[in-house]
Amino acid sequence: MSAISGFTFDTADVNGQQIAFACGGAGPPVLLLHGFPQTHVMWHAVAPLLAAHFTVIAPDLRGYGASSKPHGTENYTFREMAKDQTALMKHLGFETFDLVGHDRGARVAHRLALDAPEAVQTLCLMDIVPTHLLLNDLTRRVAQAYYHWFFLAQPAPFPETMIAHDPDAYYQSCLLGWGAAQLCDFAPAALAAYQTAWRDPDTIRGMCEDYRAALAYDFDHDTVDLHRRITCPALVMWGADGAMGQVYDVPGTWADRLTDITPVPVTGGHFFVDQHPDETATSLLSFLRTYNFEG
């Protein structure tokens, strides 16, 4: 059984990892990648709506949820996480697919589209600006709102020890800290699933390693690829009331990295998928159906 209604839950041994995933629906494949500090359960209200038209796969990223949590910062780059996902989709019989990511999942999706463009039919990035831009042109407002990037990236075991003192208090502060969210915006069952995951010391470690890798490896990977543009159709969504939407022209930050952008602001903050799943699903379906059911 899966925490997503009507979906099955399974694991696959791919890319040297065990990746847990939920799967449901029928039709063209869509891969949904969650962000920090959540799991695949963040799609619980959106995935069933997409599954009326698509085969929907929602995995836990490595380091998160029920997926593997290897040791070593080098194992948490967006490149390695992206390899997990292309391998998972091939394991399920899908050579090409539509790709949707929120937060860290969107950063994995961006890297996947750079490293395996032949696999990605369309790309949706939710509530992020490019990693390289955020770090290279860091502003005071972003540093204050996104301080967790630099806290979590500190050498082990400092952040792990601090977080383990009260995981619920820390991670709930993250859910509420990036604009326009209240704890009641998160469905009780979903919040319980997140709590179960983030109370695991290995998950705490894995999520810290994710952020360490961004500074230690991902920035350099993105520096090499600054000249490259992703050519598949891309939907850029952001929370109109969230930190990114308040500080940046979000689609404008992608103008030199994506060639075909559909910009869509969504009501709410960073976690608009939880806050407004129907609006999120409507925008996603409109975009995805354009490229899957033409004529």
Residue entry with tokens 């967790």: 148
Distances (CA, A) of 176 to 119, 171, 182, 183, 289: 35, 9, 6, 7, 33
Q: Is 53 among the catalytic positions?
A: no
**Catalytic annotation, pick one of 60, 103, 241, 274:** 103
H helix or E strand, kind and range, residue 133: helix 131-136
Q: Is 103 among the catalytic positions?
A: yes
Classify 93 as helix, strand or coil: coil
CB atoms within 10 A of CB 5: 12
- CB-based burial, 113-152: b 16+ in 10 Å, e otherwise: bbbbeebbbbbbbbbbbbbbbbbeeeeeebeebbebbeeb
**Catalytic annotation, pick one of 34, 40, 102, 270:** 270
- Span between the terminal Cα atoms of the chain, in Å: 36
Distance CA 171, CA 16 (A): 29
Task: Return the active site residues.
Answer: 103, 270
